[in-house]
Amino acid sequence: MDWDDWDDSAPDTAAAAAGAAERLVDAGADGDDQAVEAALRPKNLGEFVGQERVREQLDLVLRAARQRGATADHVLLSGAPGLGKTTLSMIIAAEMAAPIRITSGPAIQHAGDLAAILSSLTEGEVLFLDEIHRMSRPAEEMLYMAMEDFRVDVIVGKGPGATAIPLELPPFTLVGATTRAGLLPPPLRDRFGFTAHMEFYGPAELERVLHRSARLLEVEIEPAGAAEIAGRSRGTPRIANRLLRRVRDYAQVKADGVITREIAESALGVYEVDGRGLDRLDRAVLGALLKLFGGGPVGLSTLAVAVGEERETVEEVAEPFLVREGLLARTPRGRVATPAAWEHLGLRPPGQDTGGSAQQGLFGV
Ligand SMILES: Nc1ncnc2c1ncn2[C@@H]1O[C@H](COP(=O)(O)OP(=O)(O)OP(=O)(O)O)[C@@H](O)[C@H]1O
Ligand SMILES: [Mg+2]
């Protein structure tokens, strides 16, 4: 999958955000996550699970820089929320034994904000710029020169009397993170020496993440229990860690604390996260599409009304994962369910019944 086409970003609209609120399977970090994530973050490349290609490439980049006694090239990390971009930025600093400064695109609205940060960097420091696609234009242009020539022009004064005073910067490593690499202007993208495209994690990798986290949280988890949680984690370590915490609660209250397959299954049943990682909202959208509209095509607005949600919530919160899972397709004529969707909800497409009620798929269940 090409990351430039990827659009399952944090919802931009208030309506979508409201729909995503308190979703157990949302890939964004909530307050609770932020508190525990620091403890669960791998500290070096060796501990970082999966992303083999990115890890190998990054290892080379960092190792070579270390051998030369130089500052590492600028690195761009692109990928969906919760795949480990912030984690990797900290690992880069740790591997280079360099201090790290953390800021984000939305925090830098004026070029002056950026100039202040850049001019206070020390040699070799890592500057982590999260959500780099949300930086303002003037700041972005200042960043071009800083990245390339380790220099910024500080504008002093206003109007015709304004002068640009060039300021030398110590060499530093910019680590940019973005969920929307496609939104980065090419001149900015081109100034990174290395771009890491983070992929969704496979089940085996998520199991390793879960075993590691369980060890750190001092929870006993059986391999089958980890497999059960991994399958529902949407390819995302952050979700895996969150589900693990909920299952741990359940295991502690309802059983002896050990996470077995049965415990994981019952716990995630309580939280309405199904075997494929769909939650109540996802299943409502899919269910309406199948049961009320015979699998589509149906327009987004109609579908939204049918499930009692805002358009934006359906489009930005539920659909991206359904599309990624091959359960729903967006077509010019509207939303269409795939055969896998019928199968997942245990329904039969209309007209495919042998005998019995031909309407069963439509109105039956
Ligand atoms: N490869 C990995 N191995 C182990 N744990 C991981 C890995 N990647 C991510 N995690 C876990 O997932 C959590 C989320 O990762 P992180 O905060 O780095 O994601 P992110 O890509 O920065 O997300 P966002 O786009 O929301 O900022 C971390 O706390 C970390 O514990
Ligand atoms: Mg992050």
Q: Which residue, judged by its Cα, is nearest atom 13 of ligand 1? A: 238
Q: Is the CB of 58 under 6 A from ligand 1?
A: no
The domain that contains 353 carries what CATH number?
1.10.10.10
CA torsion sign for 28, 33, 35, 37 is negative
Known catalytic residue: 302? Answer: no
Final residue before a domain boundary, out of 197, 225, 247: 197
| 171 in the same domain as 53 | yes
What is the predicted pLDDT for the residue at 164? 86
What is the predicted pLDDT for the residue at 43? 93
| 132 in the same domain as 105 | yes
| 185 in the same domain as 51 | yes
Helix (H) or strand (E) holding 232, with range, is none
Q: What is the mean pLDDT of each run of 10 residues along the chain (365 residues)?
A: 45 56 81 81 93 94 95 96 95 96 93 92 96 92 93 86 90 96 90 94 97 95 97 95 96 94 96 93 94 93 94 92 95 94 91 52 44
Final residue before a domain boundary, out of 229, 245, 270: 270
Known catalytic residue: 338? Answer: no
The domain that contains 220 carries what CATH number?
1.10.8.60
Q: What is the pTM of this model?
A: 0.87
Residue 43 has, within 13 A of its CA and on its CB side, a CA count of 3
What would the two tokens of residue 68 be? 């030369």
Is 241 within 8 Å of 209 (Cβ atoms)? yes
Rounded Cα distance, 176 and 127, in Å: 8
| 254 in the same domain as 219 | yes
Specify whether the backbone of 130 is left (phi greater than 0), alpha (psi in -120 to 50) or beta: beta
| 181 in the same domain as 46 | yes
* Residue 99 within any structural domain of the chain: yes
| 353 in the same domain as 258 | no
Binding residues: 40-41, 82, 85-87, 148-150, 191, 201, 238, 311, 330, 335
Final residue before a domain boundary, out of 182, 197, 212: 197
| 210 in the same domain as 150 | no
Is 95 within 8 Å of 65 (Cβ atoms)? no
What is the predicted pLDDT for the residue at 360? 47
Is 106 within 8 Å of 134 (Cβ atoms)? yes
Ligand 1 centroid vs 153 CA: distance in angstroms? 35
Contacts 24+ apart (CB under 8 A), 150-154: 152/114, 152/115, 152/118, 152/119, 154/115, 154/119
Domain count of the fold of the chain: 3
**Residue ranges making up the domain that contains 298:** 280-364
Buried b (16+ CB within 10 A) or exposed e, 84-94: bbbbbbbbbbb
